[in-house]
Amino acid sequence: HNNWSISSNDGQNLLDPGDTPMENLQFLTFLCAIIKGVDEYSDLLRLSAASAGNDHRLGANEAPPAVISIFLGDELTAVLDALESGTPLKSSAHDKEFVIGVDALPNFPKDATDRNRTSPFAFTGNKFEFRMLGSSDSISCTNTIMNTIVAEILDGFATELEKADDFEKALKELLIKTYKEHKRIIFNGNGYSDDWVKEATEVRGLPNYVSTVDCMPHYTDEKNVRMFEKFKVYTSTELASRTEILLENYSKVINIEALTMIDMTRKQILPAVMKYTKDICDVVASKKAAGLAGGAEEKLASRLASMTSSLDNAVEVLENKLIETKTIEDVEELAKYYRNEVFVAMQSLRAVADELETIVSSDVWPFPVYSDMLFKI
């Protein structure tokens, strides 16, 4: 997780809501700037956490979804809703308590911050927590993007407010307008839910970049190039270079993984399955010689033979896909081919190998089986 906040030059945390966030216009200004920035530049935040390895993680295995959203919590959301509607703030999440049901123990207040870890970008007291980064990722890309995004939005705010005759009135109007236009990015619910992905994309119109290949080309979108060049962070040439390097790296990683998978299948899995099939066939022959029924063994031998053919076919398909990659010169097209063809072929090969693992004896299987790794460590 990448903890991100903003401080002034004298050390004041500008994301500290204080005891009365409804009256803290400085805090609300920076909060609304972040909300607007994340909504308008969610493509950049998504690609800052994009990699071949992280594609497996996002949206699965207790990780945030690939859809960018902001968790504010009920308390801050209520503050912004009250600001938008012009009505008094009704209640605070801090007023809510857990009722334990044990007289000897006191009730204790519910925490207003996010504890379920399903949001990719969550406000946690006096900072934001970006949870999409992969374990091998540097935080520099995300922080560079966040800083530039917020600088862009604050620059726009300053330009508008500098023209105002009544500063406080103009600021409140700006905050209300910003929240109305960008509150679609705020989601305090369960990010793991399939319903959320559907709501995000179909109802709220939020982008869902499932893979690295989907989001990385957006580095060079006109709006993104214009913003980076405006603040002299990157030039258009540097952005194009980064895009090409990252896509090339994606292709290389998938290529290495595919070659490793082929090697494991050809040199370890297939020989092990063939040996086990021979052992089962020997049992069938022995039973028949003794005049015994070998129905179960015959069924297993037949299934093993069929799946061995399926495994061999799947690895051959993957090998042919890798041969095809050598004919593609364009970096983006090559990355797309690796994602849409090679990666899919790898998934098909794995599915057959996973099924074989369930019917081949663990004594013969060349790798630690899932059950041992999950339950016997």
| Predicted structure pTM score | 0.88
> Residue-wise pLDDT tens for the chain (377 aa)?
899 999 999 999 999 998 888 889 999 999 999 999 999 999 999 999 999 999 988 876 667 889 999 999 999 999 999 999 988 877 554 455 545 455 555 554 555 555 557 899 999 989 999 999 988 889 999 999 999 999 999 999 999 999 999 999 999 999 999 999 999 999 999 888 889 999 999 999 999 999 999 999 999 999 999 999 999 999 999 999 999 999 999 999 999 999 999 999 999 999 999 999 999 999 999 988 888 887 889 999 999 999 999 999 999 999 999 999 999 999 999 999 999 999 999 999 999 999 999 999 999 999 998 888 888 76
Nearest to 61 by CA among 134, 130, 113, 139: 134
Beta strands 121-123 and 128-130, pairing class: antiparallel
How many of the other CB atoms lie within 10 Å of CB of 119? 27
Residues 6+ apart with CB under 8 A from 71: 114, 119, 121, 122, 123, 186, 187, 188
C-alpha 64/C-alpha 49 separation (Å) is 11
Nearest residue to 212 via CA among 259, 174, 182, 253: 253
What per-residue confidence (pLDDT) applies to 93?
46
Domain ranges of the chain: 2-234, 247-375
In order, the DSSP letters of 8-60 are: -TTS-BTT---S-GGG-HHHHHHHHHHHHHHHHTHHHHHHTT--HHHHHHTTS
Nearest to 243 by CA among 212, 206, 211: 212
Rounded-to-integer distance, Cα 130 and Cα 3, Å: 6
CA distance 365 to 192: 34
How close are the terminal C-alpha atoms of the chain, in Å?
27
- Strands 121-123 vs 2-4: parallel, antiparallel or unpaired: unpaired
CB contact set of 94 (below 8 Å; sequence gap of 6+):
75, 109, 110, 112
pLDDT of residue 92: 54
Q: Which pair of structure tokens corresponds to residue 85?
A: 């509607």
Q: What is the pLDDT of residue 61?
A: 61
Please report where in the chains the tokens 């299987």 appear, as a residue.
365
Q: How many CB atoms lie within 10 A of CB 7?
A: 11
pLDDT of residue 107: 52
CA 45, 47, 48 angle in degrees (round to 5)?
65
Instruction: Enter the tokens of residue 290.
Output: 């003794």
CA nearest 80: which of 137, 22, 158, 11? 22
C-beta of residue 193 within 8 angstroms of C-beta of residue 59: no
284 contacts 294 by C-beta, under 8 angstroms: yes
What is residue 295's predicted lDDT score, i.e. its pLDDT? 85
Select from 274, 250, 243, 240 the least CA-distant residue to 365.
274
Task: Give the integer Cα–Cα distance in Å for 345 and 342.
Answer: 5
**Residue reference for tokens 């690895």:** 315
- Decide if domain 247-375 falls under CATH 1.20.120.1560: yes
Q: Which residues pair with 2 in a beta bridge?
A: 130
φ, ψ of residue 349 in degrees (nearest 5): -65, -45
DSSP states along 48-108? TT--HHHHHHTTSTT---SS--EE-HHHHHHHHHHHHHT------GGG-EE----TTS--E
Q: Is 275 helix (H, G, I), strand (E, B) or coil?
A: helix
Question: Do β-strands 108-109 and 70-71 pair in parallel, antiparallel, or remain unpaired?
Answer: unpaired
